[in-house]
C-alpha cells in the first residue's frame, strides 16, 4: 500500500521518506531495483518548491513538492501548498491536446502536495541554454504551437459553456497564486514597495520616470484589469523561459502552478518577454561582437517563429474543428458570405491576441527589472554599469510597447523596434 509522504502532518520530504513513499507507488516500476539502490537528489532551483530527482537502475523520476511557504523567502512568506493540486489539474486538463509537450504525469498525492512525473534527464532549462547563447531551433515554434493547442481547446471556441464553466470553477480556487501575479506584475513595479529592487543607483532615474508616467501606468493597469476579467482560456500563468525544458529535438512545458482562466495573451507575452530580456542581456553575456550579433539575429527569428506558429496553429484549429464551443457558433455562419465574415473575425481575434501579447510582454519585462523577481539572464551580469545599460534599454522598449501600442501591428514592427530601443 502506498503511504502518504507525511502521514500525520505535512512536512517537507527528505530522501528517506521519499524513498519509502515511492516504494509503495506503481510509478516505482520506472526506477527498477530496490529502494535502497535509488539515488535521490534535491535539485530545485526555482523560487517556490522542492524538486527531487530519483534515479534507479531502470530509469529516473522527478518528484515536486509544494512547500507551505515561498522557498526563496522562507516561512516568513507563507503560501498555500494547494498550488500543487492546480499544477496537477492543469496538466490533466491540457494533456489530451498537447501530446508530449508536457512531462508524463505518474501520480499526485494531495496530502503531501507531491507530483511524481517523468524525469527530463536529457533536457535543459531554456533560460540556462539561452544564457550560454545556445540555440534550440525548435523551442520557440514549439511553445507557440503549445499555447495555441492548450488555449484553443480550453476556450469558449472549443468548449460548450457547461464544461468551460466547470473548468473555470476548478481553477478559480487558485486565487492565492493569482494574488501574487496581481501584486508582483501589475501593482508593485509601478509604486514604491518593500519587495521591489532595481540596479541602484544606475537605474534610479529610469525607475522614477516609469513610476511618474501616467500613460504607461494606465496601460499596465488596463492589462491588469484584463488579466483579472478575461477568462478566455486556461492559461499556464508563468510561461517564462524557466518553465520550458528543451533538448535538440524536444520542447517540454513545466511548472504551471499559476494556472487559471485568463487572457491567452498573458502566456504569449510571458514567453516573448523572456526572449526579449535575453536579447538585451546578451550585451553582458556574450563579449564577442560578431557572436552576439548572430545570436541576436537568431533570437529575433525565434520571436517571429513563436508568433507565427501560435497564430497558424490557433487559426488552423479554429477553422478545422467542428466547433462545439458557444463562442462564434458555427451554425449561425453556415452560408458562404457569413463564412467569409466569420473568417475575418477569426483573423481580428488573433490580431487582438497579438496586441495583448505585446502589452503583457511589456509588463513582464518591467517587473523583472524593477520588481521582486528578476531574471538570471540579467542578474548574472556582474558589472552593475553593464547590467544597468541592458536593463535601461529593455525598459525603454517595454515603455514604448505600453505607451504606443498602435506602432506595433505585426511581429516585424516589434523586431525593428528592439534594436532601436536605447534610452
Ligand atoms: P518551481 O515552481 O519551484 O520554480 P519548477 O517546476 O520550475 O519549480 O522546477 C524547478 C527545477 O527543477 C526546474 O528549473 C528544473 O531544473 C527541475 N525540474 C522540474 N521538473 C523537472 C522534470 N520533470 N525533470 C527534470 N527536471 C525538472
Ligand atoms: Mg514555479
Convert the pLDDT of each residue in 285-337 to its tens digit: 999 999 999 999 999 999 999 999 999 999 999 998 766 799 999 889 989 88
414: phi then psi, degrees, rounded to nearest 5: -65, -50
pLDDT surpasses 70 at 8: no
Q: Which ligand is closest to the CA of 255, given by its number?
A: 1
pLDDT surpasses 80 at 6: no
Please list, in sequence order, all residues whose beta carbon lies within 8 angstroms of the beta carbon of residue 341, skipping any fewer than 6 positions away: 333
Dist. CA 304–CA 298, nearest whole Å: 10
Pocket test for ligand 1, best of 13, 64, 68 (most atoms within 8 A of CB): 64
Confidence (pLDDT) at 73: 81
What number of CA atoms fall less than 13 Å from residue 360's CA on the CB side? 28
Q: Where do the CATH 3.30.200.20 domains begin and end in the chain?
A: 7-118
**Cβ distance 415 to 408 under 8 Å?**
no
DSSP readout, 280-297? HHHHHH---HHHHHHHHH
**Cβ distance 146 to 256 under 8 Å?**
no
pLDDT tens digits for range 53-76? 999 999 999 999 999 988 888 888
Confidence (pLDDT) at 1: 41
**Cβ distance 170 to 260 under 8 Å?**
no
Confidence label for 2 from pLDDT (cuts 50, 70 and 90): very low
pLDDT tens digits for range 389-411? 999 999 999 999 999 999 999 99
Instruction: Name residue, grid cell 485568463.
Output: 262
52: phi then psi, degrees, rounded to nearest 5: -115, 145
Q: Where do the CATH 3.90.1200.10 domains begin and end in the chain?
A: 124-420
Crossing angle, helix 289-320 and helix 411-420, to 10 degrees? 160
Measured in angstroms, how far is the CA atom of residue 153 from the centroid of ligand 1?
25
Measured in angstroms, how far is the CA atom of residue 104 from the centroid of ligand 1?
14
Cβ atoms within 10 Å, residue 393: 19
Confidence (pLDDT) at 323: 67
Confidence label for 148 from pLDDT (cuts 50, 70 and 90): very high
pLDDT tens digits for range 242-279? 999 999 999 999 999 999 999 999 999 999 999 999 99
Confidence label for 7 from pLDDT (cuts 50, 70 and 90): very low
Q: Ligand 1 site: residues with CB under 6 angstroms?
A: 43-49, 51, 62, 64, 103, 117-120, 125, 242, 254-255, 257
pLDDT tens digits for range 194-238? 999 999 999 999 999 999 999 999 999 999 999 999 999 999 999
> Quick one: DSSP state of residue 104?
P
Instruction: Name residue, grid cell 499596465.
Output: 220
Is cis: bond before 201, omega within 30 of 0? yes
Which neighbouring-strand residues pair with 70? Answer: 74
Count of H-run helices and E-run strands, the chain: 14, 12
Atom of ligand 1 nearest to the CA of 123: 25
3-class DSSP assignment, residue 422: coil
Atom of ligand 1 nearest to the CA of 117: 23
Measured in angstroms, how far is the CA atom of residue 44 from the centroid of ligand 2?
10
At 109, which helix (H) or strand (E)?
strand 105-109
Residue whose CA lies nearest to ligand 1 atom number 4: 46
Measured in angstroms, how far is the CA atom of residue 46 from the centroid of ligand 2?
6
Nearest to 268 by CA among 216, 309, 320: 309
Pocket test for ligand 1, best of 177, 243, 252, 254 (most atoms within 8 A of CB): 254
Atom of ligand 1 nearest to the CA of 49: 3
Instruction: Name residue, grid cell 514604491.
Output: 192
> Quick one: DSSP state of residue 4?
P
pTM of the model: 0.96
Please name the fold of domain 124-420. Aminoglycoside 3'-phosphotransferase; Chain: A, domain 2 (3.90.1200)
Q: Where are the alpha helices (DSSP H) in 3-134?
A: 15-23, 83-98, 126-131
Confidence label for 423 from pLDDT (cuts 50, 70 and 90): very low
Q: What is the CATH number of domain 7-118?
A: 3.30.200.20
Atom of ligand 1 nearest to the CA of 255: 6
Confidence (pLDDT) at 74: 82
Pocket test for ligand 1, best of 13, 255, 376 (most atoms within 8 A of CB): 255
Lowest pLDDT segment from 1-10, 361-370, 374-383: 1-10
Confidence (pLDDT) at 71: 82
Residue 329's region, left for phi above 0, alpha for psi from -120 to 50, else beta, is beta
Crossing angle, helix 289-320 and helix 139-154, to 10 degrees? 30
Confidence (pLDDT) at 77: 85
Pocket test for ligand 1, best of 46, 63, 73 (most atoms within 8 A of CB): 46
Confidence (pLDDT) at 87: 98
Confidence (pLDDT) at 421: 62
Measured in angstroms, how far is the CA atom of residue 243 from the centroid of ligand 2?
8
> Quick one: DSSP state of residue 103?
P
Instruction: Name residue, grid cell 520542447.
Output: 251
Q: Where are the alpha helices (DSSP H) in 230-335?
A: 264-285, 289-320
Measured in angstroms, how far is the CA atom of residue 185 from the centroid of ligand 1?
22
Residue whose CA lies nearest to ligand 1 atom number 8: 46
Lowest pLDDT segment from 47-51, 128-132, 160-164, 337-341: 47-51
Measured in angstroms, how far is the CA atom of residue 62 from the centroid of ligand 1?
8
Q: Which ligand is closest to the CA of 67, given by its number?
A: 1
Measured in angstroms, how far is the CA atom of residue 213 from the centroid of ligand 2?
31
Measured in angstroms, how far is the CA atom of residue 52 from the centroid of ligand 2?
14
DSSP readout, 138-178? THHHHHHHHHHHHHHHHSTTTS-HHHHHHHHHHHHTTHHHH
Measured in angstroms, how far is the CA atom of residue 63 from the centroid of ligand 1?
9
Residue whose CA lies nearest to ligand 1 atom number 1: 46
Pocket test for ligand 1, best of 12, 27, 49, 51 (most atoms within 8 A of CB): 51
Confidence (pLDDT) at 246: 98
Which neighbouring-strand residues pair with 125? Answer: 245
pLDDT tens digits for range 74-130? 888 889 999 999 999 999 999 999 999 999 999 999 999 999 999 999 999 999 999
Instruction: Name residue, grid cell 500500500.
Output: 1
The grid coordinates listed for 271 are 514567453
Atom of ligand 1 nearest to the CA of 121: 25
Q: Which residue did the predictor score with more confidence, 151 or 6?
A: 151
Amino acid at each position: 500500500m502506498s503511504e502518504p509522504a507525511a502521514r500525520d502532518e505535512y512536512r517537507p520530504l527528505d530522501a528517506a521518506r521519499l524513498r519509502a513513499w515511492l516504494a509503495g507507488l506503481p510509478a516505482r516500476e520506472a526506477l527498477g531495483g530496490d529502494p535502497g539502490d535509488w539515488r535521490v537528489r534535491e535539485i530545485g532551483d526555482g523560487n517556490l518548491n522542492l524538486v527531487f530527482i530519483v534515479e534507479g537502475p531502470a530509469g529516473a523520476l522527478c518528484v515536486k513538492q509544494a512547500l507551505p511557504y515561498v522557498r526563496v523567502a522562507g516561512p516568513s512568506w507563507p503560501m498555500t501548498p494547494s498550488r500543487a493540486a492546480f499544477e496537477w489539474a492543469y496538466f490533466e486538463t491540457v494533456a489530451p491536446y498537447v501530446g508530449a509537450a508536457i512531462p508524463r504525469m505518474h501520480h499526485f498525492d494531495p496530502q503531501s502536495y507531491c507530483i511524481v512525473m517523468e524525469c527530463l534527464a536529457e533536457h535543459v532549462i531554456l533560460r540556462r541554454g539561452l544564457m550560454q547563447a545556445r540555440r534550440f531551433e525548435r523551442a520557440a515554434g514549439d511553445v507557440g504551437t503549445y499555447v495555441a493547442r492548450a488555449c484553443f481547446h480550453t476556450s469558449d471556441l472549443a468548449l460548450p459553456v457547461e464544461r468551460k464553466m466547470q473548468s473555470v470553477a476548478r481553477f478559480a480556487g487558485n486565487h492565492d497564486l493569482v494574488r501574487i501575479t496581481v501584486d508582483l506584475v501589475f501593482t508593485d513595479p509601478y509604486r514604491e514597495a518593500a519587495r521591489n529592487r532595481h540596479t541602484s543607483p544606475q537605474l534610479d532615474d529610469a525607475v522614477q520616470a516609469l513610476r511618474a508616467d501616467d500613460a504607461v501606468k494606465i496601460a499596465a493597469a488596463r492589462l491588469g484589469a484584463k488579466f483579472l476579467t478575461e477568462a478566455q482560456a486556461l492559461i499556464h500563468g508563468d510561461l517564462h523561459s524557466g518553465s520550458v525544458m528543451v533538448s535538440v529535438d524536444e520542447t517540454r512545458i513545466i511548472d504551471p502552478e499559476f494556472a487559471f482562466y485568463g487572457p491567452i495573451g498573458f502566456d504569449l507575452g510571458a514567453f516573448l518577454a523572456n526572449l526579449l530580456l535575453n536579447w538585451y542581456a546578451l550585451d553582458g553575456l556574450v563579449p564577442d561582437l560578431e557572436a552576439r550579433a548572430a545570436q541576436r539575429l537568431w533570437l529575433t527569428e525565434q520571436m517571429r517563429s513563436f508568433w507565427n506558429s501560435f497564430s497558424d496553429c490557433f487559426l488552423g484549429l479554429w477553422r478545422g474543428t467542428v466547433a462545439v464551443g458557444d463562442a462564434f457558433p458555427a451554425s449561425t455562419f453556415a452560408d458562404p458570405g457569413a463564412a467569409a465574415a466569420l473568417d475575418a473575425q477569426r483573423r481580428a481575434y488573433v490580431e487582438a491576441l497579438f496586441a495583448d501579447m505585446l502589452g503583457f510582454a511589456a509588463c513582464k519585462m518591467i517587473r523583472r527589472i524593477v520588481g521582486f523577481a528578476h531574471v538570471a539572464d540579467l542578474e548574472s551580469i556582474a558589472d552593475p554599469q553593464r547590467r544597468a545599460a541592458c536593463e535601461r534599454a529593455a525598459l525603454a522598449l517595454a515603455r514604448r510597447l505600453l505607451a504606443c501600442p498602435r506602432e506595433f501591428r505585426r511581429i516585424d514592427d516589434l523586431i525593428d523596434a528592439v534594436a532601436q530601443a536605447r534610452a
